Structure formats: C-alpha cells, structure tokens
C-alpha cells in the first residue's frame, strides 16, 4: 500500500487496468483498492453490468462513494478485443445507456429540457457527415460489401439485425429470445415483396458466441449474411432496417433509413423509430441530430491520439479514418523474408492491422509455398535485405516494398535494438539510393500539397525545433562552450561509413576523413566542429576516426552534445548524406552536401555534386514546408504501440518528447548512451524477448 495525497478512482478488474489512458479519460488516476489509502479514493468504477460492476457497487456503498459505470464508446476502435484498445468510452453515474430498466445519464439528458445542439449545430452536421462518409462504426475492420452478396433482382431489401445470445442490451432492453422471432416474422409479413437479409453478429461469425437467429432454418425470401460486412455499406443497400437493440440500427438512422425496434435501445422511444415496445419514462420527442449530439458529443468521452489526453469526437474520427486508410493501402498479405527475429518482432505491427496478414519466410522455398496472390507484397529491409547466406528474394509478383527506419525514429539507437516509432515502405526504390527514383522522390517531384498539409508541416517543423528532436534523441542538449575566437562555426556530422546512404549516395566523398579534408580546404579559417556518429561512438558501427588524425582538420571533436546543439551553434553544416543536414534545414541553417541525400537537389541546399544522377531528375524547387510535408507527413508510417494503431508525425513527436523528458527526470537517458556492458545486457534482454515472441 502506498501513501498519496491525490484522489483516485478505484477499479475492480485487471481488464480495466490494462486499458491504455483510462485515467486520462476519467480525469483521475485509477487504482485497485488497497494500493493507496482508502481516503484518497474519490469514486468506484465498474464495466457495464459485468461482475466488476457488482464489486464496484458494493465498495461504493460501503464507503459512500459515487459509482461509475463504464462502457465502450459508440466509436470504439478499428478492431475488436484487447488487440485494439478503446479510444472512446462512456461514463455513467446513474446507470448505463443500454439498460432500459432504469434511467441512465444519457436518458436523463434526452428527457431533460436541454437544447442539445445549441451552439454546436455545425459540429453535429459535420460529425454526422464524416461518420457516414467514412462509414465509421463501433468497430471498423469489416470489409466492404462484395459484389454478388445481395440479389441483383431484389424488388425491395429489408435488413434484420441478429445479436449475440444473452447480450446485455437485449436482456436489459425489454426483449428476449422471442423478440427476435417476432422481428423476423414481422419483417416478412410487413414487407411481402422484399428480400429479408439477416445479418449475423461478428462474434457469432468468429465462433465465439451464438446468435438468437442462428438456428433458424433457411426459408423463402430470407438470406443469412454470415460474413463480415461493413455496416454502412450494407445499410446503404437496404430500404428498411429491423432491430431489437443493436446500435447498428442507429447508424442506419444516421444514413436516413427507417428503423423498427423490437426492444428498447437507447435511441428508441423518442419519436424517430417505429417502436414495438415502450418506455413510460421517455416522453420527449427528439430528432436524430439531437440523439446523435446527446450520445456522441455529450455522453461519450474521447481520447486525443496525439497527446494521449482527453480529446474530442473529431480526434477519434481522424484516428479511425487513418486506420481505415492504412488498411486499404495494403489490403493483402505482407510477405517478409530475411528479417532477423528481433527486427521481425519490432516491425510486424507496421505492416498490417491484421497480424495474420504479416508472414515471415525463412527461405525461398518457404516463401513460394505461400501461394502469393495479386494483392500480396514482398517486403525486404533496405536495399539488400538482411538475408542469411543463401537466402534471396523470391519472385513474389509485381509489387515489392523496401523497408527502412523513418526520419524520426525513437529515443535510443536502432543498433541497440530500440523499438522504432516510424518506418518507411517504398515500392519504387528507397530514399537513400539516388541511383533510381524512390516513392519519396516521386512524391516531392509531383505532389500537390494542400494548405492544411503545409500548415501541419509548419507545425511539425516548429515542434521539432522547439523541443530539439532528431532521429535518435539521446544526446545531451545544452549550449556549447567552444572557444571559437569569433570565427565562423561550421558543423561536420560524422556518419557510419558503411551505411547504405554513403555506399549508394556519395560517389566522391565517402569517409569522414575525406569530408573533413574537403571542408578544411574550402574553409581554412573556419572553426570546424566534428561530431562522431552515435552508432560509431557506441561501438555498434564502423567509421571511427582517431583524434590524432583529425588534428588540423577539426578544431573540436564533440562526443557529448547533441547534433541539434551543434547545429544551433553553427552557421552552416557540411555533410555527405547525413540526416543531420535535414535537421539543419528544419532550423533554417545553410547546408552544403557532398552526396545526394533525399533533401538535396530541390533548391534548399548547396549541392557540390552537381552532376549527380538524381539531381537531373529532381526538377522542382520546393519550399521548406513542402519538403517537410513530403518527407515527414506523407512518406513515413508512424505507429502508436500503446493504442496499437497507425498515428501521425506530430503524435510521434509528442511521444519522443515525453519519453525523453521522463528518462531525463529519472536519470535513465544517460544510460541509453553510455556504458557498453549495460547496452549489451539490454540488447541481450531484447533478443531473448524476441526469441520468445511470436514473429
């Protein structure tokens, strides 16, 4: 038991404790009773009407505390279960919305005299349009309606929605098993010319539960839809919808379809549905817009996926749209070959929201046995991959992707096996190989960026500059104390000399010593600061230059301060192909490049390799915001490991800033950078965990 002066909300199940950022959604930290002195507990919370709710109720009564009932929100997540944590919940201090046997906070709100849309009319209209346009539901992983699923010659179509047996919204929604048979019979009788489609619940499709209509025999004019189908795509093809208490029927109301209810769901009894049950407490007449505003905008709570704090409905809409877009971007299987086990574990989430779609083959023969289809893609790391001897890329069809770390990666080195927060997937080439076009180069050459993207690019750039963010974020950030004697300060960042960006992208200057000599020859009077690459300092990669060799070429060898500190103190930066040159551009420094990095050739750098093959292709002049929009907003893929979904650049920047601050506060940031034995032990631990994980 710990002592605390802050209030907390007591929860009573391990499942609730595992929900990421539940405390942020509740507005207070959560705890198990007994973890802190009971005087700090402000309320007790349970989930819906599950056993944890009964334990919470007994605790609240014993200590005379408020009782909160929690449930998933109406826009919960991309997929189901713990694999996809909720980004929306409801919190009810009176009951819960699906329990019609007693008033809930939602029912009280709808029954009140409150003008539910006053001042938010535009937001309500916008939210409904976005939800219908993007077909957003509680879960959003179901595929579109396949051609041929519905009859081509249907005169009329009626949808009957089945539910899982024993579902609380049925048990507490004034309905029972007979209600479903009555519903089906009414659908047939009241629509004599219609084909009646019975939609099976996803949990029934998966085999985890049974439905109320599962045992119904096939009868004339009734078609059972037992496959997963996007709810809005299905509803759009229907003339009428019948339900007992499913929230899917409210989505049909949003889509403008007439709905008949054989139970008492939260949206029934207000005058917008054809009700076969009644609730005497519900006397007000409410429009669909008012129902939506009450449930989605006043009752539900949302997480901002960028800040991981309390957010808005529009934050969650944007998050779910991003998941759908990424799922549509790569709908097939991702066949990966030659990935080391630890890297396979790290990058698996980036490749598909469906883990079953990401496969790792150990050999050509194993890859061929996967029977590659037209939507499948072959994925390799970088240009040459990480194949073991004798393993090469098989002929896996027309589409192949090269994978690499993103430009804003992590707090910690990739060579230390630190989990990445971003990667890039390139179908044409890869950004560091100027000998052939890449998706990034093509994007920067041809894309039109919207005003919104350019504004976001400026926001991202300012955040990076303000918080001193770069790729690895482990170096000390403070102002240097170099004795420059008033000379022009030139920063030369060291690189890993066998790095692919040098091997492929710097034909004339290929070592750190050659670069230093070039800079000193061109600027004999300058104060030159050389910083070895972090991977080289750590001993993980090659490129070490002895101090004695640098004498006369560099005035200072800076192993401690961050590259950002060096950039900010310098007037210009000289580099072969280092990402530090891009970091310098973000800070509006003059950058001289000796190779062909992705950020050169667009009119923003001084390019010494004027005959570079890529520069002949890069025929467009970009603004800094356009370069940022292409390189940081559109090109990489960003991942949120807490919410287990695709996220944005600005969200990852927040994660990096917060993680670095946390590590600095407890003295652990220094341990990521120094101490070879400590780093090797940490790598060994990561490798052991990878061996035990399912790749």
| Contact status, residue 397 vs residue 371, Cβ threshold 8 Å | no
Give pLDDT tens digits for 595-609: 999 999 999 999 998
Partner residues linked to 591 by β-bridges: 573
pLDDT band at residue 672 under the 50/70/90 scheme? low
Look-up: residue for tokens 């770069």?
Answer: 470
Do the domains spanning 138-301 and 452-640 agree at the CATH topology level?
yes
DSSP 476: B
Secondary structure of residue 149 in the 3-state scheme? coil
Tell me the C-alpha distance between 107 and 96, whole Å. Answer: 9
What pLDDT, on a 0 to 100 scale, did the predictor assign at position 387?
40
Strongest mean pLDDT among 82-86, 355-359, 595-599: 595-599
Tell me the C-alpha distance between 15 and 17, whole Å. Answer: 5
| Contact status, residue 16 vs residue 70, Cβ threshold 8 Å | yes
Q: Can you state the percent helix, strand and coil of the chain, rounding each to 5?
A: 35, 15, 45
Looking at residues 559-578, what average pLDDT do you find?
94
Say which residue, 539 or 468, is predicted with more confidence: 468
| Contact status, residue 244 vs residue 230, Cβ threshold 8 Å | no
pLDDT band at residue 390 under the 50/70/90 scheme? very low
Q: Evaluate if residue 72 carries a pLDDT over 80.
A: yes
Record the pTM.
Answer: 0.90
Q: Which of 588, 580, 541 is nearest to 558 (CA)?
A: 580
What pLDDT, on a 0 to 100 scale, did the predictor assign at position 388?
36
The domain 452-640 is placed in CATH, from the list 3.40.50, 2.60.40, 3.40.30, 3.30.70, at 3.40.50
Tell me the C-alpha distance between 309 and 135, whole Å. Answer: 25
User: Which helix H or strand E contains 453, and what residues bound it?
Assistant: helix 451-467
Tell me the C-alpha distance between 319 and 321, whole Å. Answer: 6
What pLDDT, on a 0 to 100 scale, did the predictor assign at position 188?
97
Partner residues linked to 527 by β-bridges: 489
Strongest mean pLDDT among 25-34, 122-131, 226-235, 384-393: 122-131
Percent of the chain whose predicted confidence (pLDDT) is above 70: 91
Tell me the C-alpha distance between 290 and 52, whole Å. Answer: 32
Percent of the chain whose predicted confidence (pLDDT) is above 90: 73
Tell me the C-alpha distance between 318 and 304, whole Å. Answer: 10
Angle at 499 between CA 588 and CA 440, to 5 degrees: 55
Tell me the C-alpha distance between 509 and 594, whole Å. Answer: 7
CB-based burial, 91-125: b 16+ in 10 Å, e otherwise: bbeebbbbbbeebbbbbbbbbeeeebbeeeeeebe
CATH class for the region spanning 138-301: alpha beta
Q: Evaluate if residue 228 carries a pLDDT over 70.
A: yes
What pLDDT, on a 0 to 100 scale, did the predictor assign at position 215?
82
Lowest mean pLDDT among 75-79, 86-90, 472-476: 472-476
Domain ranges of the chain: 7-111, 138-301, 452-640
What pLDDT, on a 0 to 100 scale, did the predictor assign at position 675?
53
Give pLDDT tens digits for 43-55: 999 999 988 899 9
Say which residue, 460 or 415, is predicted with more confidence: 460
Looking at residues 5-20, what average pLDDT do you find?
91
């Amino acid at each position: 038991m710990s002592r605390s002066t802050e209030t907390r909300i007591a929860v009573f199940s391990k499942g609730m404790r595992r929900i990421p950022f539940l405390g942020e959604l509740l507005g207070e930290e959560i705890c198990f009773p007994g973890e802190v002195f009971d005087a700090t507990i402000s309320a007790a919370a349970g989930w819906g009407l599950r056993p944890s709710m009964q334990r919470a109720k007994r605790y609240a009564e014993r200590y005379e505390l408020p009782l909160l009932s929690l449930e998933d929100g109406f826009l919960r997540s991309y997929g189901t279960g713990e694999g996809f944590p909720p980004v929306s919940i409801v919190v009810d201090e009176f009951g819960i919305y699906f329990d019609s046997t007693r008033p809930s906070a939602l029912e009280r709100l709808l029954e009140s005299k409150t003008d539910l849309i006053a001042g938010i009319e535009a937001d309500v209209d916008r939210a409904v349009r976005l939800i219908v346009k993007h077909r957003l539901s509680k879960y959003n992983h179901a595929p579109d309606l396949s051609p041929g699923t519905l009859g081509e010659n249907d005169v009329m179509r009626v949808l009957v929605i089945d539910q899982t047996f024993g579902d609380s919204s049925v048990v507490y929604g004034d309905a029972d098993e007979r209600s479903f048979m009555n519903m089906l019979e009414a659908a047939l009788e009241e629509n004599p010319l219609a084909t009646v489609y019975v939609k099976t619940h996803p949990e029934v499709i998966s085999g985890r539960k049974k439905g109320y209509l599962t045992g119904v025999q096939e009868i004339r004019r009734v078609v059972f839809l037992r496959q997963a189908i996007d709810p809005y795509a299905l509803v759009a093809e229907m003339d009428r919808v019948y339900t007992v208490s499913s929230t899917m029927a409210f989505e049909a109301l949003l889509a403008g379809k007439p709905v008949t209810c054989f139970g008492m769901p939260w949206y029934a009894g207000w005058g917008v549905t054809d009700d076969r049950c009644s609730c005497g407490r519900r006397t007000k007449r409410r429009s669909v817009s008012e129902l939506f505003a009450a449930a989605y905008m006043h009752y539900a709570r949302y997480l901002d996926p960028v800040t991981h704090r309390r957010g808005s409905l529009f934050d969650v809409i944007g998050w779910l749209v991003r998941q759908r877009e990424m799922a549509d971007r790569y709908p097939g299987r991702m066949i990966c070959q030659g990935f080391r086990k630890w890297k396979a574990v790290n990058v698996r989430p980036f490749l598909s929201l469906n883990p079953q779609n990401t496969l790792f083959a150990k050999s050509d023969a194993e890859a061929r046995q996967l029977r590659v289809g037209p939507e499948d893609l072959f994925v390799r790391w970088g240009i040459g991959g990480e194949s073991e001897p004798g393993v090469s890329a098989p002929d896996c069809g027309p589409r192949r992707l090269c994978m690499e770390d993103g430009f804003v990666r992590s707090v910690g080195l990739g060579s230390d096996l630190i989990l990445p927060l971003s990667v890039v997937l390139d179908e044409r080439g890869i950004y560091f190989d100027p000998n052939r076009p890449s998706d990034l180069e093509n994007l920067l050459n041809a894309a039109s960026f919207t005003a919104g993207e350019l504004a976001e690019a400026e926001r991202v750039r300012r955040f990076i500059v303000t918080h001193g963010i770069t790729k690895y974020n482990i170096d000390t950030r403070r102002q240097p104390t170099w004795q420059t004697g008033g000379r022009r300060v030139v920063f030369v960042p060291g690189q890993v000399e066998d790095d692919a960006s040098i091997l492929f992208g710097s034909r004339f200057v290929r070592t750190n010593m050659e670069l230093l000599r070039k800079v000193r020859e061109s600027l004999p009077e300058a104060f030159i600061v050389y910083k070895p690459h972090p991977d080289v300092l750590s001993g993980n990669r090659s490129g070490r230059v002895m101090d004695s060799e640098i004498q006369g070429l560099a005035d200072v060898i800076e192993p401690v301060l961050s590259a950002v500190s060096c950039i900010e103190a310098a007037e210009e930066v000289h580099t072969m192909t280092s990402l530090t040159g891009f970091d310098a551009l973000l800070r509006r420094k003059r950058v001289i490049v000796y190779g062909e990095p992705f950020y050169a050739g667009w009119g923003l750098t001084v390019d010494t390799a004027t005959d570079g093959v890529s520069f002949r292709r890069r025929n467009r002049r970009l603004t800094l915001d356009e370069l940022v929009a292409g390189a940081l907003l559109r090109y990489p893929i960003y991942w949120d490991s807490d919410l287990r979904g695709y996220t944005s650049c600005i969200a990852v920047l927040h994660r990096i800033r917060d993680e670095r601050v946390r590590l600095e506060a407890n003295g652990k940031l220094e341990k990521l950078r120094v101490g070879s034995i400590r780093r090797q032990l940490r790598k060994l631990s990561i490798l052991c965990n990878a061996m035990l994980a399912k790749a």
